[in-house]
Chains A and B, each alone.
Chain A
Amino acid sequence: MSQDIEREKQLADQAAAARTQGEESPLVASFRQAHPEWVGEVINAFGETTIIVPRESIVEACRFFKTTVGLEFDMLSDLCGVDRGPEEDPRFEVNYQLFSTKKHHRLRLKVLLAEDDPRVQTVTGIWRTANWHERETFDLFGVVFEGHPDLRRILLPDDWQGHALRKDFPLRGYEPYSLT
């Protein structure tokens, strides 16, 4: 029994160590040096680095990460929205998972958006792959990507009401459940 308790403590310590702030990645340092005004908050946890970027400067920040020698994030791995819940402010997040096919490093950029104004500039001009990811985020969260070439719903029907992955959207939708 006492062994188990010790083992549990050890596991808790491991988990806490993974969450604590690690050393600042050199990627962040060069970014901070070049554009200190674009760095909101830096989170180092679970071996991953997240930078919160003000939404006005996300396009410029992405361009900086793509073109700067030594960073060269030439691929946008993933882009996804998050709803923190209706009681939170700011309510929405958009995560950009960057990857470099030359340097093999990864980075996450994050933009926070308020519920009453969920708008952010599109990054389709930097990576064309952002096109469908942004359409999906628009479809499921209602985040509007300004300047997107073709911002239509992608997964749900055109006449769908509401945005399905928002926390206040019920799991089974608004229509009563019926088999007929």
Chain B
Amino acid sequence: MATTIPPQFDVIDRPLDTQMTISMGPQHPSTHGVLRIELVLDGELIVKSTPDIGYLHTGMEKLFEYKKYQQGIVITDRMDYLNPLGNNLAYVMAVEKLLAIEIPERAQVIRVLFCELQRIASHLVWLGTHALDIGAMSVFFYCFREREKILNLIEAASGGRMTPSYFRIGGLMMDLPAGFERRCRQFQDGFIHAVDEFHTLLTGNRIFQKRTQGIGIISSEDAIDWGLTGPSLRGSGVEMDVRRTNPYTGYEKYDFDVPVEPDCDVWARYMVRMREMKESHKIVRQALERLKPGSVKADAPKVVLPDREAMKTHMDALIHHFLIVAEGFNVPAGEVYHPIEGSKGELGCYIRSDGGAKPARVHFRGPSFVNLSALPHMAEGEMIADVVAIIGSLDIVLGEIDR
């Protein structure tokens, strides 16, 4: 993060035929938060672009080292705030890997269900803001109408809309409320038409096509080299999805396609996400069918909080509850890296434990962080107005980039 104003920003007389440096952001609405980009322009062409991040840095990785494992879950909510359940899952699964505990089937199915609902919600915000950046305002309202329904579902299950912390180490916070399945099916039935509605709003629009096709090209080799993941990589024709390559929480049992587009431009990334919403919709339907009664908490009394009823009748349950809350639980020494497919790409959680109730180091591989680092590669040589389209197509969230 730069704090001193470079000399090229001084107001001086400058002939029109020379290059000009402008600072875009950090209060620019289409930078999706507090991203600043230093652009060197030749007329309207971008000669050089340098992203400048860190305006939202809150030292979360440091904070993890001072919190018990179960307290860390609430910090993860605030990283990628459009995909909090994905962040929960990456963190929780990494800790579960260290503890070597098995999660009951029902909890796994509910995790998949919510991750896919969250992916749809995250893509809806992306679609609304991406279209808004390019100049199509009405899409935003349609997207947020649908997103509201998903947030209501998440609220019904966890009590929180943006910061659910629903996944806990060893299972879930609690079981689904009565009538949840019916409400979820209601949303499901409406949503399939909503996606078609989005297509009629944007896909056939010639202005939108002109603004996105052939813009921000990154070849598949370059995309891999720059570490792009998720829809941004699949828009460059590489079929890579962590749900397929390294399945977790039983994704191998679900039937879904991984959308890939070969065009490598902003349009391709748009089409990938639009198709992905339908695939997530498919997974949600399958998860609802798989939902069987059962426990949502692992049988690990030293790690998972006991039921309220058990606490009132069993002495040992009360003791375990007290110890977990007051002292935390010991996690054996070791280190793990657990990747999951977040809504923006590979979301990896590296945890190192030296034993004890607090982690020695927690590191998040944020897909937005890595995807944004490839921005200069895509933006240089394009027009200044296209930067907005390229940033939108990468679907960045600054909370995750700066952590």
Contacts and interface: CB of A to CB of B under 8 A. Distances in A.
A157 interface: yes
A164 B62 CA distance: 8
Give the most central of B227, B360, B374: most A CB within 10 Å: B227
Nearest to A100: B245
B63 A48 contact: no
B373 to A, nearest CB: 4
Nearest to A82: B361
B62 A129 contact: no
A103 B360 CA distance: 31
Given A106-B246, A164-B59, A165-B62, A128 B226 contact: yes
A1 B301 contact: no
B211 interface: no
A15 interface: yes
B402 A155 contact: yes
A77 to B, nearest CB: 6
Contact residues on A (Cβ < 8 Å of other chain), bracket: 35 or more
A11 B402 contact: no
Contact residues on B (Cβ < 8 Å of other chain), bracket: 35 or more
Contacts of B299: 7
A104 interface: yes
B336 A48 contact: yes
B1 A128 contact: no
Interface in A115-132: 127-129, 131-132
Interface stretch (B12-20, B97-105, B382-390): B97-105
Contact of A159 (B3, B99, B370): B3
Contact of A129 (B225, B339, B402): B225
Give the most central of B302, B350, B377: most A CB within 10 Å: B350
Contact of B54 (A75, A104, A155): A155
Nearest to A45: B334
Nearest to B332: A15
Given A127-B227, A129-B370, A164-B59, A101 B335 contact: no
A14 interface: yes
Q: What is the interface of chain A mostly: helix, strand, loop, or mixed?
A: mixed
Nearest to A171: B66
A164 B403 CA distance: 13
B323 interface: no
B3 A78 contact: no
B100 A101 contact: no
A158 B4 contact: yes
Contacts of B240: 101
A50 interface: yes
Interface string A42-70: 00011110100000000000000000000
Interface in A17-58: 17-19, 45-48, 50
Nearest to B102: A14
Contact of A78 (B1, B61, B361, B363): B363
B179 to A, nearest CB: 34
Contacts of A169: 62
Contacts of B22: none
A129 B227 contact: yes
A99 B101 CA distance: 25
A46 B334 contact: yes
B57 interface: yes
A114 interface: no
B261 interface: no
A168 interface: no
B352 interface: yes
Given A11-B300, A158-B1, A95 B57 contact: no
B337 interface: yes
B365 interface: yes
A153 B53 CA distance: 10
Given A4-B301, A46-B98, A77 B227 contact: yes
A158 B339 contact: no
Contacts of B301: 4, 7-8
B120 interface: no
A155 to B, nearest CB: 4
Interface string A72-86: 001111101011100
Contacts of A164: 59, 62
Contacts of A1: 316
A128 to B, nearest CB: 5
A107 B385 CA distance: 40
A78 B348 contact: yes
A140 B362 CA distance: 13
B245 A156 contact: no
A104 B227 contact: no
Nearest to B233: A101
B1 A101 contact: no
20 contacts: A4-B301, A8-B301, A8-B302, A11-B300, A11-B302, A50-B335, A75-B224, A78-B350, A80-B361, A128-B225, A131-B373, A153-B54, A155-B54, A155-B57, A158-B3, A164-B59, A164-B62, A165-B62, A169-B62, A171-B66
Given A80-B350, A82-B352, A95-B337, 4 more contacts: A78-B363, A129-B225, A153-B1, A154-B1
